[in-house]
Structure 1
Amino acid sequence: MSTAAVDRRASTLRGASLPKWSPYAIVGGSIVLGVLIGLVGGLDSKVQWGLIAGLLYVLGTYVIAARVEGRRQAKDRVATSLVWVAFVIAVVPLVSLIWVTVSRGVKVLDPYFLSHSMGVVADSQPGGGAYAAIIGSLEQVGLATLIGAPIGILTAIYLVEYGRGRLAKAVTFFVDVMTGIPSIVAGLFILSLMLIFDMQPFGFAGSLALAILMMPVVVRSTEEMLKLVPNELREASLALGVPKWRTILKVVLPTSIGGITTGVMLAIARIAGETAPVLLLVFGNPFINNNPFEGAQSSLPLFIYQQYANSAGANAAYDRAWAASLTLIAFVMILNLVARGIARWKAPKTGR
């Protein structure tokens, strides 16, 4: 049998198929029809137009694929189209949020804003900045990390390397409970202790609440990283007569240090935007206070809340709130980039 005959027979067995550009054509047609339906139906929201276009895309994909390729292949294409529609639905709000924050935050975000505090500047007046809030956030999050990260890592080491019996089950249970605890509850817990000892608001109190929120995240991420370390490495070290504590310190932790560091960074990013505990415990301060152990402080989430709450009829406060939001997003983004860099740097190298 000739090569041409074999190719024709294989093509017949495969059946007809849509061209590679067909998904793009269906997307374009769905968008046009969605806009037309929205205009004719008097729908003002572009979100509704997008949802209609997404529905038309899925239906159009199934109808066209079923007529050309058959129902079985059409179902496969519908599943793929649903994944893409879900991806777009998830990405559009994120892109919209970043766009709005950047477009409104750059109005007053400059070196002056980052290096000056509000001081005696009224919320309705232009000027001032978030320097005091930036200092407060760095100190409070830094102290919370110094408290929460070591406790979380040591707890995870206990659960993976030593934890057996009822105590380990109880610790695991409480870690699971703390993972879902609302941030306001952590703030109220520290506030109750402050009331017992008749203490005034200060920055370290906010750090304690943030540490409570941080610890379960660190425990869970570290626990998963330690479980990924092969048992062969532990057994080889123990077979050489190395004590278990030294095996953990010299073998287990260095092997998983990349993942542990990434988990700690993500936990820091998670607590950096908390507002409720800071509002209860730190109280806010327009002036610079570099001492977290005495007097009220500010923080970026609290600064954003206060400026937005006092922005009625005052564009200056409204712009400062967006500029502080952009600063906070940049801080969290930098932490995530650092976490990814450390994870890639410390990832196990595979030989050829």
Structure 2
Amino acid sequence: MTATTLPAPGQSPKLHTKKLPSVAFLGVAVVALGLSAAICYGTGIGGWVLTLVVGLVLYLVGIFVAVNAVEGRRSARNRTWSALIHSAFVLAILPLASVVWTLVSNGLDRLDGDFFLTSMNNIGARDPNGGAYHAIIGTLEQVGIAALITIPLGVLGAIYIVEYGRGRFTFVIRFFVDVMTGIPSIVAGLFVLAFWVLIVSPWFNDGAPVFSGFAAALALSVLMLPTIVRSTEEMLRLVPAPLREGSYALGVPKWKTIMKIVIPTALPGIVTGIMLSIARAAGETAPVLLVAGGSAAINFNPFSAQQGSLSLFVFQQAGDASRFAPARAWTAALTLVALVLILTIAAKLLARRNRIPR
């Protein structure tokens, strides 16, 4: 509610607006939460989760009524929607915070040197030792090989679609990329198993199929490729056309314009898409189980013999009957998340250094 006072002679007019004090919002929140607890626990219809939900609804209603009485309907709608947006943000953050807290609280038990420097080879059910060194090596090699294969193919494919592709052929490529985006990981693993392990690998191993980390990397490449292509394509389309036109007007060739102008401009978004694909690949279990075997011994050679990974290690330890296995599983999960976080931060810093200054 807005009121304008008449100015005195020789004075300029002033606009005075009533405003609800900040302490009133805290009071409304306390009353809403108390009323919600009385309703939920008094009637026995739910616990603390339902209490928070009902309290949020009552808080929004109370904010609208209180602000409408003091500041007017327009300000009440604005305050209510702002509170709703902030509440949605908090609700979206809560699951992430819960996951992080669960990983950290449960993963610290085995966060020691033995976990990172030993493998599970010759570790029995009653042995509290054993670590994920072999799984860490396998994850780094498999994801690294998959990234070396997929990143150039995905980025170059997106460049072709955006900068050079025309007609039905480009539509077909984009269609199949969209289809590949929804392929389950088990299907990618079966494809590599049928093609590489059972058909190609016997040529190099006296007719016997070979499970290897490289086969797992091929399966991860199938999963990473559509994500990189689609994310890179969208980032390249966001590059303003005047940047390209200005470069062409100066006589710069198209390939150099792409390399020096387009890609550096879209690089932060491209890196984000690449890191999303790497995070997905690092967390896949089914392809590694199908084509790499998941050995408990240390294997530095990704082209020969079975190899494990962190995601597969978590899966195996979570289903192990040993009372020491859950702690290993939680620490391996924390290690996997920390590894992806470190790679993401490093990639973001590298992209920031190489982008075009504004």
Residue 105 (str. 1) matches residue 107 (str. 2): yes
2:270 to 260, 272, 290: 260
| Residues 229/66 of structure 1: CA separation in 2 closer, same or farther (3 Å cut) | closer
- Is 1:31 matched up with 2:38? no
CA distance in 2, matches of 1:4, 1:117: 83
Q: 2:218 aligns with which of 208, 212, 231?
A: 208
- Could you tell me the TM-score, scaled by structure 2's length? 0.87
Give the match for residue 76 of structure 2: 74
Specify every segment of 5 or more residues in structure 2 that has no aligned partner in the other structure, as ranges. Answer: 1-6, 203-208
Q: 3-state SS of the aligned residue for 2:300? A: coil
Counterpart CA distance in 2 for 1:246 and 1:228 is 18
In 2, the alpha carbon distance for the partners of 1:94 and 1:255 equals 30
Partner SS, residue 55 of structure 1? helix
Aligned to 1:146: 148
Q: Distance in 2 between matches of 1:340 and 1:246?
A: 24
- Quick check: 2:264–2:356 contact (8 Å CA) kept in 1? no
CA contact (8 A) 1:203 1:293 kept: yes
**Which of 291, 310, 330 pairs up with 2:338?**
330
| Conservation of the 8 A alpha-carbon contact between 2:268 and 2:348 | no
Task: Indicate yes or no: 2:257 matched with 1:247.
Answer: yes
Distance 1:288 1:294 in 2: 12
One-letter code aligned to 1:218: I
User: How far is 1:43 from its partner?
Assistant: 6.1
Q: Equivalent of 1:234, from 223, 241, 244? A: 244
Match of 2:325 in 1: 317
Residues in 1 aligned to 2:67 and 2:73: alpha-carbon distance in whole angstroms: 7
Q: 1:339 to 1:39 in 2, by over 3 A?
A: farther
1:225 and 2:235 are equivalent in the alignment? yes
Write the distance in 1 (CA, Å) between the matches of 2:59 and 2:283. 38
Instruction: Say whether the 8 Å CA contact 2:111–2:331 is kept in structure 1.
Output: yes
Q: Give the share of equivalent positions with the same residue, in percent.
A: 49
State the TM-score, normalizing by the size of structure 1. 0.89
Q: How far, CA to CA, are the matches of 2:254 and 2:352 in structure 1?
A: 28
Count the aligned residue pairs.
Answer: 343
Q: Distance in 1 between matches of 2:89 and 2:256?
A: 46
1:84 aligns with 2:89: no
Q: Which deviations, in whole Å up to 9, do the C-alpha atoms of 1:286-310 show, x marking residues without a partner? A: 1101111111111000000000011
Residues 229-238 or 298-307, more deviating: 229-238
Q: Please tell me whether the aligned partners of residues 258 and 346 of structure 1 are also in contact (alpha carbons under 8 angstroms).
A: no
Report the Cα offset of residue 322 of structure 1.
Answer: 0.4
Match 2:297 to one of 281, 287, 310: 287
After TM superposition, give the deviation of residue 339 of structure 1 in Å. 3.5
- Checking the alignment, whether the CA contact within 8 Å between 1:126 and 1:316 is kept in structure 2 is yes
Structure 2 residue identity aligned to 1:186 = A
How big is the shift at 1:225? 2.6
State whether residues 266 and 339 of structure 1, in contact with CA within 8 Å, keep that contact through their aligned partners in structure 2. no
Give the deviation of 1:127 after TM superposition. 0.6
What is the CA–CA distance in structure 2 between the aligned matches of 1:60 and 1:315, rounded to whole Å?
Answer: 51
C-alpha separation in 2, matches of 1:95 and 1:4: 55
Candidates 191, 195, 198, aligned match of 1:195: 198
Secondary structure class of the residue paired with 1:6: coil
How far did residue 5 of structure 1 move? 8.2
Going from structure 1 to structure 2, the CA distance change for 1:24 and 1:127 (only over 3 Å counts) comes to same
The more displaced of 48-57 and 336-345 is: 336-345
Question: Could you tell me which amino acid in structure 1 is paired with residue 13 of structure 2?
Answer: V
Superposition RMSD in Å? 2.3
Structural mapping, 1:335-350, within 5 Å: 335-350=343-358
CA contact (8 A) 1:304 1:325 kept: yes
